[in-house]
Amino acid sequence: MLPWIRLLQLASPTLPVGAYTYSQGLEWAVESGVVRDEAGAARWIGDLLEWGMGRFEAPLVGQLIAAWGAVDDARVVSLNADFIASRESSELRAETLQMGYSLVRLLTGLDTFAAVPGWRGRLVAVPEAAFPTAWSAAAAAWQVPPDMALCAYLWSWLENQAMAAIKLVPLGQSAGQRLLAALGERIPAVVARAATLPEDDWSNFTPGLALAASRHETQYTRLFRS
């Protein structure tokens, strides 16, 4: 039972890593008119869930959890470097490094993590730990089942995107819940595919996100940091 409680803590929007300050290009998509309403937000976020998160970040997090569990720290460092290199803009790179840094500080100060033998030292040894790297370390240390960990990781991302859409489009709270209900139904299938996707087939080819994230860097008025 305790691993499930730890997982709820990891997936909570109260996790103090600053996720709420980032929109991952959604702010520019709204500013430019690509996303205008609830349907547009569902398409944008749903496409990123399937083609960005589902085909690159989710399988990478799954492999990170496996590497942490197998005490293959060289593999952890390699995957961490791959993820940082995959960030298409300076804002997206700064986002994952800031959130990773904040989560490392949080975890190393929590008795529930630091008390697990060896984990604190292994985590702080990763140079510039990205957010997925630190998050997966906690999931592995707390012995969260990998499939449930991936579901929670994607849900946390989805929830943050929905909250950003509520503020930016803007949408009402009920519309935000409809987004979460509809897109949340797709998470189990995305996780199942990510768990078996060969690394040679990983792809973060999402040109719309790359353009949105890059153009956000020079957007005149902004609520979010990416």
Of 73, 89, 57, 173, nearest to 123 by C-alpha is: 73
Of 123, 142, 137, 7, nearest to 68 by C-alpha is: 137
Cα separation, 177 vs 163, in Å, equals 10
Confidence of residue 116 (pLDDT cuts 50, 70, 90): confident
State the helix-helix crossing angle for 173-184 and 38-48, rounded to 10 degrees: 30
Residue 190 has pLDDT above 90, yes or no: yes
Find where tokens 């697990």 sit.
Answer: 116
Q: For the chain, which residues make up each domain, given as ranges?
A: 21-216
Structure confidence by residue, pLDDT tens digits, 44-90: 999 999 999 999 999 999 999 999 999 999 999 999 999 999 999 99
Of 198, 49, 61, nearest to 139 by C-alpha is: 61
**What's 55's DSSP letter?**
I
Q: How far is CA 168 from CA 24, 28, 33, 36, 160, in A?
A: 12, 10, 11, 9, 12
Structure confidence by residue, pLDDT tens digits, 137-183: 999 999 999 999 999 999 999 999 999 999 999 999 999 999 999 99
DSSP helix/strand/coil, 218? coil
CATH superfamily of 21-216: Urease accessory protein UreF (1.10.4190.10)
Cβ neighbours for 134, distance < 8 A, ≥ 6 positions apart: 100, 103, 104, 107, 123
* Whole-prediction pTM: 0.97
The tokens describing 82, both together, are 């791959």
CA angle 203, 158, 160 (to 5 degrees): 120
Q: How far is CA 10 from CA 31, 134, 151, in A?
A: 31, 11, 12
Find where tokens 């998509």 sit.
Answer: 29
Cα separation, 162 vs 57, in Å, equals 18
